[in-house]
Structure 1
Amino acid sequence: MPAKILKIYPDNPQEKAIEEVVKCLRSGGLIIYPSDTVYALGCDINHLKAMERLAALKKIRLDKSKFSIICNDLSHLSGFTKPIDNSVFRLLKSHIPGPFTFILEANKNLPLAYKGHKTVGIRVPDHTIPQLLIEKLGNPIASTSIRDKDEIIEYLTDPELIAEKYYNVVDLIIDGGYGDNVASTIVDLTSGSPEIVRQGKGEL
């Protein structure tokens, strides 16, 4: 069944539309949503079959996946990561929300799909739509950027083109207007001091 396309305006998102996306997530659906960087694929982090579908779509094994955990604030950290020191917390607080993915040491309370992972990537986008989705869902979502094989246009930015490419493999596509074409900056904090793994939109 082709994906449903929902137009949601980031400046004034309709509650009914947000609830429809959340219903899709809860039922194990895969969505494409806008963020403060690129458009991304996402699903409910606690829905194992959805996580398996996401891994299959990316042509990887779920236990080898490195899907980011998308949160709407820092309150979810203790559910996924080992205790962090004050300097790391201050760094996170000063850059969240924003275009960063922070790699932290994982704890033993991870959702089933993440069992065995020693690290996790935590992301808090500075964008109304994913923040509202997570708030209404009640837990984070697992996510990965949409990549284009074209080396010149590395990421798809036009939601209409995204719909043409993915309408048969996902359940719902949010059209939130044109996206960016620069991914998040990935920062490894597992050693206690920040190490930039990939320089993206965010300036540390």
Structure 2
Amino acid sequence: MAQYFEVHPENPQPRLLKQAVALLQRGEVVAVPTDSSYALTCRLDDKDAVDHLRRIRQVDDKHHLTLLCRDLSELANYARVDNRQYRLLKAATPGAYTFLLEATKEVPRRVSHPQRKTIGLRVPAHRALEELLALHGQPLLATTLIPPGESEPMNDAQEIRARFEKQIAGVIDAGACPSQPTTVVDLTPMGSGDEPLLVREGRGPLAALGLG
């Protein structure tokens, strides 16, 4: 049965988050709240955990997974970012956006897009998740918690535990999340002087990106 960590949304208890981090470091998958919807997370450098994450969501290697980063400096370790891209990122983070960027060598090939060599990255604005990332000490690989065969993300921690308790090791409950996925923007065209490409309009407002 998945462990259940009920934390305060603004002042999450470090003791409980450390227990969740211990699960992640053992190669487990943990459901976490974000500023858009709940997500499934695991360690970036654990192949078995990444494979398990994909099996739960029933997605293949062409499905973009996302790196949850603490800040822009950490993001820049895993993606190639030029000055134009950085200015846009700075204006929109932290927030409910996922940015597609060219992955650096710090990203294992198995988690980047096989043809494009890109990775989704985001800096979430959610207190409990921010603290979890700080305690973990490195980004987490994530995917929106959308059950197989469905189109809407889950946002109730108790329902997530009941549905996935035999597939995941833990659930962090910091209250309900918005049931809307992130806005996804492909920044790779900017590298050749073109404009960013809106892939999916979601919770993050387009005005902050100059795309409204």
Calculate the TM-score normalised by the size of structure 1.
0.91
Identity %: 33
Deviant stretches of 4+, over 6 Å: none
Q: Could you tell me which residue of structure 2 aligns to residue 185 of structure 1? A: 183
Contact 1:48–1:112 (Cα < 8 Å) also in 2: no
In structure 2, how many angstroms separate the alpha carbons of the residues matched to 1:136 and 1:112? Answer: 26
Gaps of 5+ in 1: none
Q: Could you tell me which residue of structure 2 aligns to residue 64 of structure 1? A: 62
Deviation string, structure 1 residues 3-54 (Cα, Å, up to 9, x no partner): 0111011211111011111111100010001000101100111222111111
Q: Could you tell me which residue of structure 2 aligns to residue 99 of structure 1? A: 96
Contact 1:147–1:155 (Cα < 8 Å) also in 2: yes
The Cα RMSD (Å) is: 1.6
Q: Could you tell me which residue of structure 2 aligns to residue 203 of structure 1? A: 205
In structure 2, how many angstroms separate the alpha carbons of the residues matched to 1:145 and 1:89? Answer: 24
Deviation string, structure 1 residues 135-167 (Cα, Å, up to 9, x no partner): 11111001011114556xx22222111111111
Q: CA offset at residue 112 of structure 1?
A: 5.3
1:113 aligns with 2:110: yes
Contact 1:3–1:168 (Cα < 8 Å) also in 2: yes
Q: Structure 2: which amino acid aligns with 1:195?
A: L
Q: Structure 2: which amino acid aligns with 1:48?
A: K
Aligned to 1:32, the other structure's residue is in SS state strand
Aligned to 2:189, the other structure's residue is in SS state coil
Q: Could you tell me which residue of structure 1 aligns to residue 84 of structure 2? A: 87
Q: Could you tell me which residue of structure 1 aligns to residue 4 of structure 2? A: 5
Q: CA offset at residue 64 of structure 1?
A: 3.2
Q: CA offset at residue 127 of structure 1?
A: 0.3
In structure 1, how many angstroms separate the alpha carbons of the residues matched to 2:41 and 2:102? Answer: 22
In structure 2, how many angstroms separate the alpha carbons of the residues matched to 1:106 and 1:159? Answer: 32
Contact 1:79–1:110 (Cα < 8 Å) also in 2: no
Aligned to 1:66, the other structure's residue is in SS state coil
In structure 1, how many angstroms separate the alpha carbons of the residues matched to 2:11 and 2:110? Answer: 34
In structure 1, how many angstroms separate the alpha carbons of the residues matched to 2:155 and 2:179? Answer: 6
Contact 2:57–2:146 (Cα < 8 Å) also in 1: no
Alignment size in residue pairs? 199
23-32 or 72-81, which deviates more: 72-81
Gaps of 5+ in 2: 207-212
Calculate the TM-score normalised by the size of structure 2.
0.88
